[in-house]
Structures are given as structure tokens and as C-alpha cells.
Amino acid sequence: MNGVPLESVEFASIKQINPDLEGDHYLQLNVENTFEWINYVQNLVQSNTTDGIVVFVDCAYQFGTPEIKNSGFYAIKQKFTQSHGNSADVFDNVVIIHRDSLQDINHLLANIFEFIPPEHCHKSLNCIVVSNVSIFYWDLRDAENFDQLADFHTICKHQAAKLGCYVVSTRSLFD
């Protein structure tokens, strides 16, 4: 298994949900605090980019990019810069992909290697994080059809087992 056990990172406002349905290396997290979530992601990036890559599927631009001021990834980059002097090495092994529909995310996850830039293809895939899946919940609820969400969880569980990496999905209820 690539990467470090993500469930070993403890934060009070980040809770694992549905552990019985997830599979060995697929985690669903409920996130309730922005500061703790940024710290969790910083730990995840720091722990999983030394020998491979982390792919972030950023729903609704929750994290943005390391270059956009006031974005989540910019805050993480600043923390790395303050504590390590340089964040370039860490973010060289982070792939950020933005998607704004659950159907697009399902397609991306099922075909993940088609979306990883060529310069990263020789590295192991340690972790896939899909942030803020809850953004899609209300439209699915209004349509009374959760098939895409069920497909999403099936794909995540399958890819975690098939690829030998951690897959983390989050629903966000920020304070």
C-alpha cells in the first residue's frame, strides 16, 4: 500500500463516517473546521509526497491553487514556507484537478491515469483526495436521485483496492 495511514491523523472536527461501507483504504470524512482541515491536508501532503504524488480533485474550488492568495492551498504553501523555508519540493508532487460536476468526477476517478500530467506518470500514486463532495448533495436530493453519489463511492472503493492507494472523500460542514 502506498502512502501513510491517513486514519492515524487525528483532529477533533474531522470524523470518519461510514467505516463499515468504505473498504480498507477508502475513507469518507466529515469536516467541520477549516483550520483543522487545512492542517490535515498539510499533514497528508507532507506524509505522502516524498516518494509519490497526491492528487486533489477540488470540487467547487474549495482549495484553489498554491498561487491564488486566500485559497486553501495558498495557506498550506505559506505554512510549508514558514516551517521549511521552501514549499516547492512538496507541491512538485501534488496534482490539483478542478471539477464541478459529480459525473465529471466519477469519470475522472474511473480513468485517473488519463488525467495525471505526463511529468508525474513515473511516480507512484499515494493518495487521491476528493474535497467537498457535499456540494453536490442538494442537487441530487432535489432530483431525488442519488445514483451518481452511489457510483462515486463504488468507484472510490474500487480504485483504492485496485491502485493500492488511499482515496479520501470529504463532505464539508465548515464553521
pLDDT at position 84 is 64
Where does the pLDDT of residue 174 fall: very low under 50, low under 70, confident under 90, or very high at 90 and above? very low
CATH number of 6-172: 3.40.50.300
Section 36-62 average pLDDT: 82
Across the chain, mean pLDDT equals 81
Q: Which of 82-86, 99-103, 117-121, 161-165 has the lowest mean pLDDT?
A: 82-86
Q: What are phi and psi of 162, to 5 degrees?
A: -70, -45
Domain ranges of the chain: 6-172
What confidence tens digit (pLDDT) does each residue in 20-47 have? 666 678 888 888 887 888 888 888 888 8
Using DSSP, how many helices (H) and how many strands (E) does the chain show?
A: 7, 6
Where does the pLDDT of residue 152 fall: very low under 50, low under 70, confident under 90, or very high at 90 and above? very high
> In terms of C-beta density within 10 A (0-12 exposed, 13-18 middle, 19 or more buried), how is residue 27 classed?
buried
- Whether 109 has a pLDDT exceeding 90, the answer reads yes
Q: For the stretch 69-101, what's the b/e string if a residue is b when 16 or more beta carbons lie within 10 angstroms of its beta carbon?
A: eebbbbbbbeebeeeeeebeebbebbbbbebee
Section 47-51 average pLDDT: 79
